[in-house]
């Protein structure tokens, strides 16, 4: 019978699956790579010229904050496609990468524990090698990448890898370690390390920190054997940091490598010779405040800033450092922002030094590029301005430089800009080639907003004095679009539910389609930007940069907390959304700010910020936010709690204040209180104050075990409930437990994980389960809707028969009373009633096929359709599991006739990993953190939006498309049948009329 059972489940899945022709039509996928890591010295974006290819086919390599190593398509393309990307594990952070010939070498993990090599053009993984245990690093700095380095020698594919700041290995192309050397001095902590190679010698430079001072250590090793040749140390009188030390080398055999450092305003350097006997020298002529690594250390160039921030280019010379250029007007000035200094190469390996800055005078960005080798070795500077939109992309945080075609008096520079909002732009001179909104990989909150119907207005004003000819003329003019309407009607009828796709919807017309599949996804990231996306394609409809307000003068960050839709199309007018955010200023102050936008256009509802400027918010709370909620009912106001539990309402209108006062005695909220490690749940109610604002007061506190940390609090959605119970095969009824105050809570402790369902009104525990957790591992995800709780966790291996380690999904349904037909009206009960604890929990566990990163349920307009589970698994798939499989009442034996009436199937502990239920098809949707669902106008259909590193959108029909014609329905035959019947009626009508007339004559 088991084969018959699986056949039935497979058949069900196949019927509900999408057709192959729907892929890319009803769904979309936007792969991203993440925001480039520009804060580290070893991971910013760099250009790579392809040997034997035109210079415009150079590639842009980058490591990102999403732990991705990526390569963007070559510069001659007009789009921003990604050539390849490699996604590292969450615990295996990229700390260094470097390109050499046709490969890219990366070090990842603590101290550079893992080395990988990739093909530069295809991204194919060539070699992966573990160099040391991940938790044995000896680095003092939080930036572990400062203790790792990669170096090469000419005419060799071997890699010299410095890890942990102390260990150097020579690794062959086959992964074999030729030799390894480790520093004997382990008394001081390494804060910075670097490698410099010559054909015969490897120099290891490390900056170490002891309890009293910092010391620069230099060791020389043989490249062939790894033997220590010599070592020396340079005590530093002034505490230097990693950015104050550079290691310069050159392709020219006549130039000796040097170590450069800044001490007390003086640039000092020492030549690197095998016996390390050289004395250090200084650069005379000026006092300096900073030396800048521009990515040209292996070409012998860097930039130093004088006391007034003027930028000077210094070059490695035969026996010293030489100043070869000074950027004019680069010092401190109110006319321009601070300059960014960059270096780049052309395909022949010649260096270029650039300066990019924002001019307050012309309101544009400017770039100056200096080529030291042009103009007969005298150097040539090329400058231009370009229209960088700071209102749309924030400020420029990093620039990468590449020069394609070089003439004796002209340059064609390419600039790759990384902005503060996460955008990446490629500029060819003053012309932008493409823009990638990588800030979309950092989304924190999202909501879907319905679009309004298209309004049809009369083309002419009706006037009773119009003549008959004028009226006919006007009506004919108004009917000129009739053929288009009829064509669209027939097209939609023939195409069925897929008629409203991104290919058929006018992008500039923000109106909903026939079935409500097109909506606006309002979303925001933690880089200070809010977006409006098209749910049918993922295209950006609008975007706004969030202003810092008073913190703009000192810098800061706007971090989204909650997003609420405060007006829908049902309320009249344009839909609106309110973003609640925390503003963290650079001086440590934290306050709460709200941004109120038109969901269709991104315009400021309050009218404070023009559409072409930064969006300014409303400073509501002078301090951190404790929690934010939406007031139930028609007002949709937002209520917020500050750290003193004072209540704020937004918008602060008399109507909203009256609504709050009316509902204030009925609101029950749950807050996480206490210090880390001593967290507890506390229930609160609100009270009106005679003077000042209403306040929240504690009504109960949870008694969680000591050391149990609260992971998440999951409120039950307040959507429609179509059915209050489930009729069984014996005609009795199980009534759903629909207490409106329920919340689900997940917890973790060193030994256990916990799942609770708690009554927020009085703190009663309705359901609780404790799960064993080994070594504090608590990979727990849960979702809660109506009376159904589902959670997925990792279960460790047990000793008794039938238990194995793996992931489990537990499905729990809560019903009123202790048996069928017990009815307590849980949705209407007072919180003081004892019947609130009259509940029965029915649960069943299943073996789950994959680890997941997010879980949710589908949602439909009236709640009639079945609610399926949708998960994002670690294999990069978005997958759905039908409610039929997850019914906790599935029978252990063959279903009886009564159980078959309920559509109960025989229990099987293993959930089928059905490929037909993979919503993302063959897309690899990476690192999804959250899944959002929203109803369409069709009751059968739920919209799905998944976001994380990638973005993915689709729509699903959990109960089938029962309210629209299926794809296989023969619509043409239906039309012909109707037309045939209509023709038959018309043909037989005279015959029937004559027959009736004849019958009357003979009556």
The pair of three-digit structure tokens given for residue 159, joined into one six-digit string = 């890699």
Count other C-beta atoms under 10 Å from residue 1000's C-beta. Answer: 8
Helix or strand (DSSP H, E) at 246: strand 245-248
Give yes or no for residue 143 having a pLDDT over 60: no
Confidence at residue 626, expressed as pLDDT on a 0 to 100 scale: 92
The C-alpha atoms of residue 385 and residue 432 are separated, in whole angstroms, by: 12
Q: Please tell me which residue, 570 or 87, carries the higher pLDDT value.
A: 87
Q: Could you tell me whether strands 340-345 and 396-407 are parallel, antiparallel, or unpaired per DSSP bridges? A: parallel
pLDDT digits 0-9 by tens, 417-473: 999 999 999 999 899 999 999 999 999 999 999 998 876 434 444 455 567 777 777
The pair of three-digit structure tokens given for residue 446, joined into one six-digit string = 């999202």
Confidence at residue 13, expressed as pLDDT on a 0 to 100 scale: 43
Among the listed residues 527, 274, 288, 291, the one whose alpha carbon sits nearest the alpha carbon of residue 421? 527
Among the listed residues 575, 563, 566, 572, the one whose alpha carbon sits nearest the alpha carbon of residue 451? 575
Confidence class for position 145, pLDDT limits 50, 70, 90: low
Helix or strand (DSSP H, E) at 729: none
**Is residue 550 helix, strand or coil?**
helix
Give yes or no for residue 651 having a pLDDT over 80: yes
Confidence class for position 618, pLDDT limits 50, 70, 90: very high
Q: If you count them, how many residues does the chain have? A: 1003
Dihedral (Cα; 576, 582, 584, 589), 10-degree rounding? 120
Span 182-191, mean pLDDT?
74
Residue with tokens 């010295």: 41
Name the least confident of 273-277, 349-353, 968-972, 977-981. Answer: 968-972
Confidence at residue 476, expressed as pLDDT on a 0 to 100 scale: 72
Confidence class for position 799, pLDDT limits 50, 70, 90: very low
Among the listed residues 342, 412, 436, the one whose alpha carbon sits nearest the alpha carbon of residue 83? 436
Q: What is the DSSP string of 933-980?
A: EEE-SSTT-EEEEEEESSEEEEEE-TT--TTS--TTS-HHHHHHHHHH
Confidence at residue 154, expressed as pLDDT on a 0 to 100 scale: 84
Confidence class for position 570, pLDDT limits 50, 70, 90: confident
Confidence at residue 501, expressed as pLDDT on a 0 to 100 scale: 46
pLDDT digits 0-9 by tens, 257-271: 999 998 888 999 999
Among the listed residues 913, 793, 910, the one whose alpha carbon sits nearest the alpha carbon of residue 855? 793
The pair of three-digit structure tokens given for residue 107, joined into one six-digit string = 């070090």
Span 262-285, mean pLDDT?
89
Confidence at residue 226, expressed as pLDDT on a 0 to 100 scale: 93
pLDDT digits 0-9 by tens, 943-967: 999 999 999 999 999 988 888 877 6
| Most confident region among 7-11, 144-148, 509-513 by mean pLDDT | 509-513
Q: Please tell me which residue, 513 or 313, carries the higher pLDDT value.
A: 313
pLDDT digits 0-9 by tens, 70-99: 998 766 666 667 789 999 998 899 999 999
The C-alpha atoms of residue 768 and residue 758 are separated, in whole angstroms, by: 9
The C-alpha atoms of residue 744 and residue 785 are separated, in whole angstroms, by: 10
Confidence at residue 427, expressed as pLDDT on a 0 to 100 scale: 93
Confidence class for position 134, pLDDT limits 50, 70, 90: confident
The C-alpha atoms of residue 716 and residue 787 are separated, in whole angstroms, by: 9
Q: What is the DSSP string of 440-488?
A: GGGEEEEEEEEPPPPP---SS---TT--HHHHHHHHHHHGGGHHHHHHH
Do residues 29 and 920 make contact, with C-beta atoms less than 8 angstroms apart?
Answer: yes
Query: How far lies 101's CA from each of 50, 84, 114, 159, in Å?
Result: 8, 17, 21, 12
- Tell me what the pLDDT averaged over the chain comes to: 86
Using a 10 angstrom Cβ sphere, with 0-12 exposed, 13-18 middle and 19 or more buried, the burial of residue 242 is middle
Residue with tokens 């732009």: 425
**Region of residue 633 (left: phi > 0; alpha: psi -120 to 50; beta: else):** left
The C-alpha atoms of residue 139 and residue 800 are separated, in whole angstroms, by: 45
Query: How far lies 833's CA from each of 109, 366, 511, 663, 675, in Å?
Result: 56, 71, 48, 20, 33
Residue 3's contacts (CB-CB under 8 Å, 6 or more residues apart) are: none
Span 308-321, mean pLDDT?
91
pLDDT digits 0-9 by tens, 882-899: 998 899 999 988 988 888
Among the listed residues 596, 620, 511, the one whose alpha carbon sits nearest the alpha carbon of residue 546? 596
Confidence at residue 495, expressed as pLDDT on a 0 to 100 scale: 55
Residue with tokens 């305003």: 265
Count other C-beta atoms under 10 Å from residue 657's C-beta. Answer: 15
Confidence at residue 492, expressed as pLDDT on a 0 to 100 scale: 58
Which sign, positive or negative, has the C-alpha torsion 139, 140, 145, 148? negative
First to last CA, the chain: 69
Which sign, positive or negative, has the C-alpha torsion 790, 794, 798, 801? positive
For residue 388, give the DSSP letter: -
Give yes or no for residue 2 having a pLDDT over 60: no
Confidence class for position 503, pLDDT limits 50, 70, 90: very low
- What beta strand segments (E) does 264-339 contain? 266-271, 281-282, 288-292, 301-306, 311-316, 321-326
Among the listed residues 89, 122, 70, 22, the one whose alpha carbon sits nearest the alpha carbon of residue 922? 22
Give yes or no for residue 256 having a pLDDT over 80: yes
The C-alpha atoms of residue 318 and residue 296 are separated, in whole angstroms, by: 17
Give yes or no for residue 174 having a pLDDT over 50: yes
Do residues 85 and 71 make contact, with C-beta atoms less than 8 angstroms apart?
Answer: yes
Span 661-670, mean pLDDT?
86
The C-alpha atoms of residue 172 and residue 158 are separated, in whole angstroms, by: 5
Angle (nearest 5°) at CA 815 between 811 and 817: 145
For residue 19, give the DSSP letter: P
Among the listed residues 668, 578, 595, 600, the one whose alpha carbon sits nearest the alpha carbon of residue 632? 668
Give yes or no for residue 22 having a pLDDT over 70: no
pLDDT digits 0-9 by tens, 691-735: 778 899 999 998 788 778 888 999 998 888 888 989 888 889 999
Query: How far lies 683's CA from each of 668, 698, 761, 763, 827, in Å?
Result: 7, 6, 7, 7, 19
**Is residue 166 helix, strand or coil?**
coil
Residue with tokens 């290995």: 169
Residue with tokens 């007969």: 376
Confidence at residue 397, expressed as pLDDT on a 0 to 100 scale: 94
Q: How far is CA 398 from the centre of its chain?
A: 21
Among the listed residues 179, 181, 303, 299, the one whose alpha carbon sits nearest the alpha carbon of residue 250? 299
Name the least confident of 39-48, 362-371, 465-474, 629-638. Answer: 465-474
Confidence at residue 566, expressed as pLDDT on a 0 to 100 scale: 93
Confidence class for position 142, pLDDT limits 50, 70, 90: very low
pLDDT digits 0-9 by tens, 403-432: 876 666 677 789 999 999 999 999 998 999
pLDDT digits 0-9 by tens, 382-399: 899 999 999 999 999 999
Could you give the percent of the chain with pLDDT greater than 70? Answer: 88
Give yes or no for residue 16 having a pLDDT over 50: no
**Is residue 370 helix, strand or coil?**
strand
Confidence at residue 423, expressed as pLDDT on a 0 to 100 scale: 94
Which sign, positive or negative, has the C-alpha torsion 406, 409, 414, 415? positive
Residue 33's contacts (CB-CB under 8 Å, 6 or more residues apart) are: 62, 64, 66, 68, 70, 72, 82, 85, 438, 441, 949
């Amino acid at each position: 019978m088991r084969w018959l059972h699986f056949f039935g489940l497979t058949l069900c899945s196949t019927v509900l699956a999408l057709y192959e022709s729907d892929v890319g039509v009803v769904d979309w996928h936007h792969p991203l790579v993440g925001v480039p890591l520009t804060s580290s010295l070893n991971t910013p974006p760099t250009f790579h010229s392809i040997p034997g290819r035109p210079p415009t086919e150079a590639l842009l390599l980058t490591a990102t904050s999403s732990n991705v190593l990526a390569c963007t398509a070559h510069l001659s393309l007009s789009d921003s496609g990604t050539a390849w990307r490699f996604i590292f594990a969450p615990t295996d952070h990229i700390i260094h990468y470097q390109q050499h010939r046709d490969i890219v070498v990366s070090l990842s993990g603590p101290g550079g524990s893992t080395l990988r090599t990739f093909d530069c053009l295809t991204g194919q993984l060539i070699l992966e090698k573990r160099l040391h245990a991940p938790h044995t690093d000896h680095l003092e700095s939080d930036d572990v990448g400062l203790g790792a380095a990669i170096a090469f020698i000419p005419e060799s594919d071997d890699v010299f890898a410095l890890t942990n700041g102390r260990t150097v290995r020579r690794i062959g192309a086959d992964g074999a370690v030729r030799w390894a050397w480790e520093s004997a001095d382990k008394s001081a902590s390494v804060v910075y390390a670097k490698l410099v190679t010559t054909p015969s010698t490897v120099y290891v430079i490390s900056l170490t920190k002891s309890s009293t001072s910092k010391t620069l250590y230099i060791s020389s090793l043989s490249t062939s054997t790894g033997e220590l040749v010599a070592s020396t140390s340079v005590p530093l009188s002034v505490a230097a940091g990693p950015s104050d030390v550079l290691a310069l080398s050159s392709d020219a055999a006549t130039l000796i490598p040097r170590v450069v450092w800044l001490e007390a305003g003086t640039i000092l350097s020492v030549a690197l010779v095998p016996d390390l006997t050289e004395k250090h020298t200084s650069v005379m002529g000026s006092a300096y405040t900073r030396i800048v690594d521009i990515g040209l250390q292996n070409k012998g160039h860097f930039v130093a800033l004088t006391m007034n921030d003027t930028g000077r280019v210094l070059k490695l010379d035969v026996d010293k450092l030489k100043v070869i250029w000074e950027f004019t007007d680069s010092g401190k000035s109110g006319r321009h922002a601070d300059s960014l200094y960059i270096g780049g190469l052309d395909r022949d390996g010649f260096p270029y030094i650039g300066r990019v800055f924002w001019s307050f005078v012309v309101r544009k960005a400017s770039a100056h590029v200096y080529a030291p080798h042009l103009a007969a070795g005298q150097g040539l500077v090329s400058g231009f301005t370009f229209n960088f939109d700071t209102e749309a992309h924030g400020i420029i945080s990093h620039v990468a430089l590449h020069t394609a075609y070089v003439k004796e008096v002209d340059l064609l520079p390419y600039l790759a800009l990384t902005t503060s909002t996460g955008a990446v732009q490629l500029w060819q001179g003053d012309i932008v080639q493409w823009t990638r909104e990588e800030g979309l990989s950092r989304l924190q909150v999202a909501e879907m907003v319905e679009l309004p119907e298209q309004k049809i207005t009369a083309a002419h004003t009706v006037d009773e004095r119009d003549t008959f000819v004028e009226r006919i003329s006007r009506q004919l003019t108004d009917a000129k679009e009739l053929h288009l309407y009829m064509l669209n009607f027939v097209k939609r009828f023939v195409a069925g539910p897929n008629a409203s796709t991104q290919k058929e919807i006018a992008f500039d017309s923000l109106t909903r389609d026939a079935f409500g599949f097109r909506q606006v996804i309002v979303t925001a990231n933690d880089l200070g930007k809010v977006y409006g996306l098209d749910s049918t394609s993922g295209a950006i409809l609008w975007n706004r940069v969030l202003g810092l307000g008073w913190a703009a003068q000192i810098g800061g960050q706007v971090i989204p907390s909650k997003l609420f839709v405060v007006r829908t199309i049902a309320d009249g007018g344009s839909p609106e959304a309110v973003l609640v955010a925390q503003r963290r200023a650079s001086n440590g102050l934290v306050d709460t700010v709200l941004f109120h936008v038109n969901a269709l256009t991104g315009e400021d509802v309050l009218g404070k910020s023009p559409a072409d400027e930064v969006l300014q918010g409303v400073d509501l709370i002078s301090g951190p936010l404790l929690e934010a909620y939406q007031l139930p009912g028609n007002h949709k106001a937002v209520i917020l709690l500050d750290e003193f539990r004072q209540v704020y309402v937004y918008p602060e209108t008399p109507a909203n204040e009256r609504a709050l006062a009316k509902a204030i005695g009925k609101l029950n909220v749950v807050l996480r209180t206490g210090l880390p490690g001593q967290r507890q749940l506390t229930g609160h109610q609100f009270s009106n104050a005679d003077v000042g604002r209403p306040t929240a007061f504690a009504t109960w506190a949870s008694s969680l075990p000591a050391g149990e940390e609260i992971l998440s609090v999951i409120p039950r959605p307040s959507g429609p409930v179509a059915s209050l119970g489930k009729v069984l095969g014996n005609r009795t009824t199980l009534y759903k437990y629909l207490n409106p105050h329920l919340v689900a809570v997940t917890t973790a402790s060193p030994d256990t994980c916990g799942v609770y369902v708690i009554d927020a009104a009085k703190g009663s525990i309705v359901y609780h389960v404790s799960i064993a957790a080994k070594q504090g591992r608590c990979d727990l995800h849960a979702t809660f809707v109506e009376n159904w709780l589902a959670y997925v966790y990792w279960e460790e291996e047990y000793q008794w028969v039938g238990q194995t380690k793996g992931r489990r999904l537990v499905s729990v349904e809560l019903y009123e009373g202790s048996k069928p037909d017990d009815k307590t009206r849980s949705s209407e009960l007072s919180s003081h009633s004892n019947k609130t604890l009259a509940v029965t929990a029915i649960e069943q566990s299943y073996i789950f096929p994959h680890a997941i990163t997010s879980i949710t349920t589908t949602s439909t307009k009236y709640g009639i359709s079945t609610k399926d589970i949708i998960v994002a698994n670690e294999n990069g798939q978005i997958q759905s599991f039908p409610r039929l499989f997850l019914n906790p009442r599935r029978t252990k034996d063959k279903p009886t006739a009564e159980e078959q009436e309920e559509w109960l199937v025989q229990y099987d502990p293993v959930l089928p990993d059905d490929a037909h239920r993979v919503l993302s098809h063959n897309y690899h949707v990476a690192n999804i953190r959250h899944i959002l669902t929203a109803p369409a106008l069709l009751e059968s259909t739920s919209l799905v939006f998944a976001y994380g590193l990638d973005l993915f959108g689709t729509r699903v029909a959990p109960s089938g498309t029962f309210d629209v014609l299926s794809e296989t329905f023969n619509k043409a035959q239906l039309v012909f049948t109707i037309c045939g019947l209509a023709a038959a009626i018309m043909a037989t009508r005279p015959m029937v009329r004559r027959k009736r007339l004849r019958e009357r004559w003979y009556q």
